[in-house]
Amino acid sequence: MLLGYQGNHPLNSRGFGRIKRQTVWSLQASDISKPVTDHNQQGQNDSDVLVPAKSKRVPEVIAENKDWLVSRWLQRTKANTELVRVTLSDAERKDHVPDLLDEAIARACDHAIRVEERQKAAERHGTLRYHQRYSIGMLILEAQLLQAVVAECIRNNVQFIEVESLLSDIAKISDTITAELREAANAYMRQYEWHTLRHDKRSIPRI
């Protein structure tokens, strides 16, 4: 589950549906007290009719806020004392994030995914991070920060999100980020093992 949805947050409470309905369908006290009149009476117009806000699924919200998500994630990573120990340009640091968000959106919408292509992208990311002198812990931290930023985006837009698909969409997005992390970590470890073995062989004295 995405980070930030623990404890007594409204998303985990039974009162969430009530809170959302109150937000979307809220009426002023004066509106409630108005007498019901016939639609044909003089003065009635379309502006008097309350139109509920259209609910959106989580992947729609993520797609609409993709640039904000990437920017916010980059800001969070650059403020992290562990991650900034490795000096990278903004482009190098965020290279994998836009495509990863696109994949998360597609999976949440049950769209077809080019599995091999995405797997290779995750492997490239893990290999690149190894050569950039990241640690496995830093790879994990990157993914945690991305999940936290996605959770922040959802909280900021929760009044527009449809309740029925909320939890399943969050789970699919979280699974996508976790799967990318797993593939990247595996590729990282393959690089580590190969270079370690190569170094060991060089250290063996020739007879």
Q: Alpha-carbon torsion 184, 190, 196, 199, what sign?
A: negative
pLDDT for 40 equals: 42
pTM here is 0.70
On whether the CB atoms of residues 145 and 78 are closer than 8 A, the answer is no
Q: Alpha-carbon torsion 182, 185, 187, 190, what sign?
A: negative
pLDDT for 133 equals: 95
- Of all residues in the chain, the percent with pLDDT exceeding 90 is 62
- What's the rounded Cα separation, in Å, for the pair 177 and 175? 6
For residues 78, 79, 85, 91, the Cα torsion angle rounded to the nearest 10 degrees is: 0
Q: What is the mean pLDDT of the chain?
A: 79
Report the pLDDT averaged over residues 110-129: 91
Q: How confident is the model at residue 202 (pLDDT cuts 50, 70, 90)?
A: low
Report the pLDDT averaged over residues 91-117: 92
Q: How confident is the model at residue 201 (pLDDT cuts 50, 70, 90)?
A: low
Structure token digits, residue 33: 């007290």
Structure token digits, residue 156: 């900021």
- What's the rounded Cα separation, in Å, for the pair 60 and 89? 29
Structure token digits, residue 56: 């959106």
Report the pLDDT averaged over residues 106-119: 89
On whether the CB atoms of residues 147 and 174 are closer than 8 A, the answer is yes
Least confidently predicted of 11-15, 67-71, 79-83, 85-89: 11-15
pLDDT for 98 equals: 95
Q: Alpha-carbon torsion 198, 200, 201, 206, what sign?
A: positive
List domains and CATH numbers for the chain.
10-38+45-203 (1.10.490.70)
Residue 187 predicted with pLDDT over 90: yes
Residue 104 predicted with pLDDT over 60: yes
Tens-digit pLDDT profile for residues 25-79: 333 333 433 443 343 444 444 444 444 567 999 999 999 999 999 999 999 999 9
pLDDT for 204 equals: 42
pLDDT for 117 equals: 87
